[in-house]
């Protein structure tokens, strides 16, 4: 079976029969200006295991959820450690690990953990406030939306078929209850695709951007969960995931051997971030072929920049330095310089086109 689409097939899929849009692909320093590099302060008795979720705070500073430990930490704008919260467990005020973090308009910090059927609301100083039940949804990403929270979550599911049959993957939480559920994607109905890439999103103003990491474009939802447009076009260099027949990996070969052959052959949009209010930055990447088993590792390779109001792609294939990881957006684009070992240094970049 041919596992990889040819270059001509990829271009046809990307352009849907139309010539691909020609967009400038300047070097990174021409698009982003380095503001400063922050080195995170640490408590020697409570060190970061791996930087996971990153959130820029409204009043300056940021929040980091540890990827491997059930700890959420707050920092000042210069990287000084302010506080930490979290202990391992399944009970109230306990976490297995941090799957997502958001800061509400009122300054509360909301934390989700994959096995908890509630969201943990903390005060600004990380003292416990309340627990909000959400049924059986596994909350994987959260965003503040006015006074509310929008989250991407998977409902009760015994199989991937159950996930594919959900009414939607994005939900708006209003006064502790889900007001609506919206948006689906075919990746959960395709063999193996759900294992190679799920869903990402972002919120800006009164718009929600929902995207399957493997497929363009991103859908634009309004505050009622209605689809009102789309944004995002793949560059000619974007390698679309091949369609893989069900049972392709059901062989007697060692576990993962066949899957590892395809890991590095396609691209995905790892994350979408809002930068300087009016711009969307798509971070593209590919799976690390040296880590062929779940959980996979995605290597960030290049960026795309869009005007979120007009949908215009401003820059294409802006190359990232090797070995860095895009953490998030806000007033700046935040990039972790060395994702693997401390000291943890985060570079703040200003988007030049936003000046």
Residue 290, classed as helix, strand or coil, is: coil
Q: How far is residue 192's CA from residue 172's CA, in Å, rounded to a whole number?
A: 28
pLDDT at 294 (0 to 100): 72
Question: CA 150 to CA 139: how far, in whole Å?
Answer: 10
Q: Provide the Cα torsion 148, 78, 27, 201; round to 10°.
A: -20
Q: What pLDDT does residue 64 have?
A: 98
* Distance between CA atoms of residues 137 and 335, nearest Å: 30
Is 330:338 a contact under the CB 8 Å cutoff? no
Chunked mean pLDDT (size 10), the chain, 355 residues: 32 44 89 98 96 96 96 97 96 94 97 92 97 88 96 85 90 95 95 92 97 98 98 96 85 58 92 97 94 84 97 97 96 96 97 86
Judging by beta carbons within 10 Å of its beta carbon (0-12, 13-18, 19+), is residue 114 exposed, middle or buried? middle
Which residue from 97, 102, 99, 139 is spatially nearest to 117, judged by alpha carbons? Answer: 139
According to the model, what pLDDT value does residue 251 have? 62
**What pLDDT was estimated at residue 16?**
46
Contact criterion met (CB below 8 Å) for 151 and 131? no
Q: What are the C-alpha distances in Å from 109 to residues 89, 135, 139?
A: 19, 20, 15
Neighbouring-strand partners of residue 346? 38, 336
**Contact at 8 Å (CB) between 146 and 105?**
yes
CB 115 within 8 A of CB 96: yes
Q: From 236, 237, 190, select the one nearest 212 (Cα to Cα).
A: 190
Q: Which residue has the tokens 């091949």?
A: 242
Q: Largest Cα–Cα distance of the chain, in whole Å? A: 58
The encoded tokens of residue 104 equal 């509400």
Residue position matching structure tokens 């949804």: 137
Confidence (pLDDT) at 139 = 94
For the entire predicted model, the pTM comes to 0.91
- Calculate the CA 189 to chain-centre distance: 21
pLDDT value at residue 273: 98
The predicted pLDDT at position 252 comes to 52
What distances in angstroms separate CA 58 from CA 62, 278, 288, one per listed residue? 8, 16, 34
Could you give the 3-state DSSP secondary structure of residue 189?
Answer: helix
The pLDDT value recorded for residue 3 is: 32
Residues β-bridged to residue 211: 200
């Amino acid at each position: 079976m041919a596992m990889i689409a040819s270059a001509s097939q990829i271009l046809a899929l990307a352009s849907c029969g139309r010539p691909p849009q020609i967009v400038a692909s300047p070097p990174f320093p021409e698009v982003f200006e380095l503001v400063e590099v922050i080195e995170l302060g640490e408590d020697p008795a409570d060190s970061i295991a791996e930087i996971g979720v990153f959130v820029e705070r409204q009043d300056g500073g940021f929040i980091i959820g540890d990827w491997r430990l059930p700890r959420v930490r707050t920092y000042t704008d210069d990287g000084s450690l302010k506080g930490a919260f979290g202990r391992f467990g399944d009970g109230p005020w306990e976490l297995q690990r941090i799957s997502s973090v958001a800061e509400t308009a009122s300054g509360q910090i909301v934390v989700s953990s994959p096995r908890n059927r509630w969201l943990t609301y903390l005060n600004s100083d990380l003292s416990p406030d309340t627990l909000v039940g959400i049924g059986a949804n596994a909350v994987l990403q959260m965003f503040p939306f006015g006074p509310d929270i929008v989250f991407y979550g998977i409902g009760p599911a015994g199989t991937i078929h159950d996930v594919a049959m959900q009414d939607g993957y994005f939900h708006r939480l209003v006064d502790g209850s889900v007001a609506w559920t919206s948006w689906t994607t075919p990746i959960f109905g395709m063999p193996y695709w759900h294992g190679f890439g799920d869903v990402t999103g972002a919120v800006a103003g009164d718009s929600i951007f929902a995207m399957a990491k493997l497929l363009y474009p991103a859908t634009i939802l309004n505050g009622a969960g209605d689809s009102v447009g789309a944004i995002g076009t793949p560059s000619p260099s974007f390698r679309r995931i091949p369609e893989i027949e069900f049972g392709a990996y059901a062989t007697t070969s060692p576990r993962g051997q066949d899957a590892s052959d395809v890991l590095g052959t396609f691209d995905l949009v790892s994350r979408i971030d809002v930068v300087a209010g009016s711009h969307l930055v798509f971070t593209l990447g590919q799976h690390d072929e040296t880590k062929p088993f779940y959980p996979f590792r995605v290597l960030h390779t290049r960026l795309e920049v869009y005007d979120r109001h007009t949908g215009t792609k401003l820059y294409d294939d802006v190359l990232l330095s090797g070995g860095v990881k895009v953490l998030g957006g806000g007033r700046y684009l935040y990039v972790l310089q060395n994702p693997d070992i401390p000291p943890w240094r985060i570079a703040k970049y200003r988007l030049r086109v936003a000046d």
